[in-house]
Chain A
């Protein structure tokens, strides 16, 4: 096939998909930013205009500030725990040799492919005040824990659903670290764990960044988990957004909350990656 014809063909194959993306991804994101500055009137829903009122309300009102701090804390804790639990698992899934590995991978990723109702239901059964976990604690004479309708419960549920999502970039990252590098470190006298922390961990940096990004995104989307596992006591921002959309019908405020929380998430991730790089350089030196 000749050059120009090949390119025309390629572009015409891409055109419908790119057009769809422009209409249903780029346009909604632009509308989100635009409408977040429109005015809200309880009767008329929203009216074109330009007001920073929704951003000011979200970022200065004490109620919203508390919820924003709660969300940031949950996102930070969930992201850290998820990374610590997922990286060794990803490493083992890539390096260990055994039959039926594909199936084990499928099982580990299965929460990502099942319905949220399955997980919410299980957490209610397990974490209720008289649930399976507290029954077990009582049986061995330990005090009961407040899990359901508490921040701890929401963190556990969000870590659980984040692990499979975090595993995907982490598995890709570990696969790219050749095992010859580890072997070289060990032949120079490093213990296997030392080789892991000194060679594999630093080389997985971009994978860890991607996994942190995905996990933070899940926390910012976790309104269903917050609603059922956290209830009214853990009002994280995605749940507030959903309430604005479905109950108060204040769409401009919902849009402003979406834009602002996404911005804060990106800033926190950038800060986290900068700190990690700084820490890595300090250790290397």
Chain B
């Protein structure tokens, strides 16, 4: 096409600058994690893994990492199962208006400012004596993560061809068998993608943890929150490096499984 805008040099330069702005802070944080210096110097004077080793041998950080991993796993399993039930429930509603109202309601927490939600949950959890408990924090994460999973899974469920399932049923397969052998294989990529999103959200959340956390919910982000307030050394960079590399690995995995373009509804080139 003559003068095709996506290849316009001005647009391309603009896009590259914005992408550099998005990625530069991540690169800076990671590079300091591998610094050989005891101070925060950028660029680092030399490379070493001493700060990574220091982090991995710190019992308090490791304990909070364990709390975070357990919490994120519970949140992920419950959220994916919950979102699957919601997606199929919504798909089988006969009234399109009811379906639109209910989906809107379920997704509403996503557009609420998280701090406002956190204050509301603080008041509720204090009332029912769950403030500072792991159960309370799991519930708080689910309020955000279930809609996130639903959006991802619903796109795949709505694309399902119901005739394939009824063909299997007419050949004698029971509903459970149809679901396990016909439906799940068609949507599993979106289920894995939803699971990755919920795991990362729960692992990274600091807002709910700071508002609703207690001694039993000292997650890694909350521990780091306290650490950064009083001390700044390359150890935080080492944690950053671990976080960034884990996230990148999961992003590559998610892209292989689902494709971010498909998750966002972009047609493949």
Contacts and interface: CB of A to CB of B under 8 A. Distances in A.
Interface of A: 3, 6-7, 9-14, 16-18, 20-21, 23-25, 27-29, 31-32, 35, 85-86, 88-89, 91-98, 101-103, 105-111, 113-126, 131-132, 160, 163-164, 168, 171-172, 175, 182-183, 186, 191-193, 195-196, 213-214, 217-218, 220-221, 223-224, 227-228, 238, 241-242, 245-246, 251, 254-255, 258-259, 261-262, 265
Given A31-B120, A107-B248, 18 more contacts: A3-B94, A13-B92, A20-B82, A21-B105, A91-B11, A106-B255, A107-B251, A111-B22, A114-B204, A119-B25, A121-B32, A124-B40, A171-B264, A227-B229, A238-B113, A242-B211, A246-B210, A255-B119
B236 A32 contact: no
B64 to A, nearest CB: 12
B5 A182 contact: yes
A15 to B, nearest CB: 8
B266 A32 contact: no
B171 interface: no
A71 B156 CA distance: 39
Contacts of B229: 227-228
Interface size class of B (residues with CB under 8 A): 35 or more
B15 A122 contact: no
24 contacts: A7-B92, A10-B89, A10-B94, A17-B106, A31-B120, A35-B123, A85-B21, A91-B5, A91-B6, A92-B6, A101-B269, A102-B259, A106-B252, A106-B260, A107-B248, A113-B200, A118-B243, A122-B24, A122-B26, A164-B22, A218-B113, A241-B119, A254-B119, A255-B119
B23 A107 contact: yes
A240 to B, nearest CB: 10
Contacts of B72: none
A105 B264 contact: yes
Interface of B: 1-8, 11-12, 14-15, 18-19, 21-26, 28-29, 32, 40, 42-43, 82, 85-86, 88-94, 102, 105-106, 108-109, 111-117, 119-124, 127, 139-140, 142-143, 146, 197, 200-201, 203-204, 206-207, 210-211, 221, 224-225, 228-229, 232, 236-237, 239-240, 243-244, 247-248, 250-252, 254-255, 259-262, 264-267, 269
Contacts of B105: 18, 21
Contacts of A265: 113
Contact of A102 (B18, B123, B201, B260): B260
B266 A160 contact: no
A220 B26 contact: no
Given A14-B86, A114-B243, A223-B207, A195 B28 contact: no
A59 to B, nearest CB: 17
A117 B236 contact: yes
A217 B11 contact: no
Nearest to A255: B119
Contacts of B88: 10, 13
A115 B243 contact: yes
B22 A106 contact: no
Contacts of B86: 13-14, 17
B247 A114 contact: yes
A216 to B, nearest CB: 8
A132 B111 contact: no
A156 to B, nearest CB: 9
Contact of A242 (B3, B115, B142, B265): B115
A116 B264 contact: no
A176 B139 CA distance: 35
Nearest to A126: B28
A214 B5 CA distance: 27
B17 to A, nearest CB: 9
A199 to B, nearest CB: 11
Contact of A191 (B3, B108, B109): B3
A134 to B, nearest CB: 11
Contacts of A223: 115, 207, 210
A218 B251 CA distance: 23
A228 B200 contact: no
Nearest to B106: A21
A161 to B, nearest CB: 10
Contact of B120 (A29, A96, A122): A29
Contacts of B7: 96
A164 B105 CA distance: 24
A220 B93 CA distance: 36
A105 B260 contact: yes
B18 A124 contact: no
Contacts of B210: 223-224, 242, 246
Given A7-B93, A7-B94, A221 B240 contact: no
A108 B19 contact: yes
A121 B240 contact: yes
A178 to B, nearest CB: 11
* Most chain A C-beta atoms within 10 Å of own C-beta, residue among B86, B127, B140: B86
Given A6-B92, A163-B18, A117 B224 contact: yes
Nearest to A128: B40
